[in-house]
Amino acid sequence: MRDMNRFVKSMFNLAELEQLSRRKTMINKWHPSIKIIITFIYILILTSVDGYELGKVLLFGVYPILLLSIADIPTRVIASKLIIPAFISISLVAFNPLFDQEIVLVINNIGISGGVISLCSLFSKSLFTISATLILVSTTSIEKIGDGLRWLRIPKKLVILLLLVYRYIGVLLDEVSKTIEAYQLRANGGSGIHISAWGSLVGQIIIRSIKRSEEIYNAMLLRGYHIGDEE
């Protein structure tokens, strides 16, 4: 379980991305709005490619690979953050081969069904889109992304929301990690979390999150934030 904790922490280790975003590479110096627009257009075009056009989808892989090399971002950093999204996306498309069994391609007398093609295509799409987003975050600090979004006339409230979410991913994970450790210390060496404890652990985390969000909202109010009629 400690390994799981470590794994989750490393996956969401935002400090790594922060450090990368504060370097002075060519891409880091680009105006954030330009990077946001390019990433947005890339994701938009990629997601609109037909699910059966695997060849075209794979061509889009050139973009993240190219950027990784130009921006000199260690592949390990991006790869470690792709593990859980990859697992989620593969589980979402895992049944495609069962639903679509029509053979659309034959290679060396081996028939490949449309379901397999769409599985590979959708899986690649998800990895490429997430990679592009991670590369954006690793080449642009979060406050610059905020500035870029404001420059693009995205409403201030949405930008603040994004910044808050980014800021509190780490805090929430810390709460989760502390809760797991507290459980582990009293679990008599048992492995994993017993099913009977899941409810109360999740409940505790939710309660703490709500309490914290109330405090943060108060902190914002006290520093001049107002949204509609607050009182």
Partner 1 sequence: MMNKEVIVEFKEVSFGYDTTKMIFKDIDLKIYGGETIAIVGANGAGKSTLLKLITGLVRPAKGIVYVDGYKVNNKNIRKVRKKVGYTFQDADNQLFMPTVYEDVAFSAKQEGKSNEEVSIIVNKALEQVDALHLIEKPSYNLSGGEKRAITIATALASNPNVLILDEPSVGLDPRARRNLIRLLFNLKETKIIATHDMDLALDLCDRIIVMYNGEIQGDDTPTEIFKDKELLCNNHLELPLRMQGCPICSRKGEQVESIIL
Binding-site ranges for partner 1 (CB under 8 A): 14-15, 18, 22, 141-143, 146, 163-164, 166-168, 170-171, 212, 215-216, 218-226, 230-231
Shortest CB 147 distance to partner 1, Å: 9
Shortest CB 11 distance to partner 1, Å: 16
Residue with smaller CB distance to partner 1, 6 or 167: 167
Residue 3 CB neighbours (<10 A): 7
Q: Tokens 């905020």 map to which residue?
A: 146
Residue with smaller CB distance to partner 1, 131 or 141: 141
Phi-psi region of 48 (alpha: psi -120 to 50; beta: other; left: phi over 0): alpha
Residue with smaller CB distance to partner 1, 18 or 100: 18
Shortest CB 229 distance to partner 1, Å: 9
Residue with smaller CB distance to partner 1, 97 or 170: 170
From the list 97, 90, 122, 127, the residue with the least C-alpha distance to 112 is: 97
Residue with smaller CB distance to partner 1, 3 or 229: 229
Residue with smaller CB distance to partner 1, 80 or 208: 208
Shortest CB 185 distance to partner 1, Å: 21
Please give the C-alpha separations between residue 208 and each of 112, 150, 204, in angstroms, as whole numbers.
Answer: 50, 31, 6
Shortest CB 171 distance to partner 1, Å: 6
Tell me the C-alpha distance between 109 and 105, whole Å. Answer: 10
Surface-to-core class of residue 35, CB atoms within 10 Å of its CB (0-12 exposed, 13-18 middle, 19+ buried): buried
Where b means 16+ CB within 10 Å and e means fewer, 41-76 reads ebbeebeebebbebeebeebeebbeebbeebebeee
Asked if residue 57 lies in contact with residue 125, where contact means CB atoms within 8 angstroms, the answer is: yes
Distance between first and last Cα of the chain: 44
Shortest CB 129 distance to partner 1, Å: 23
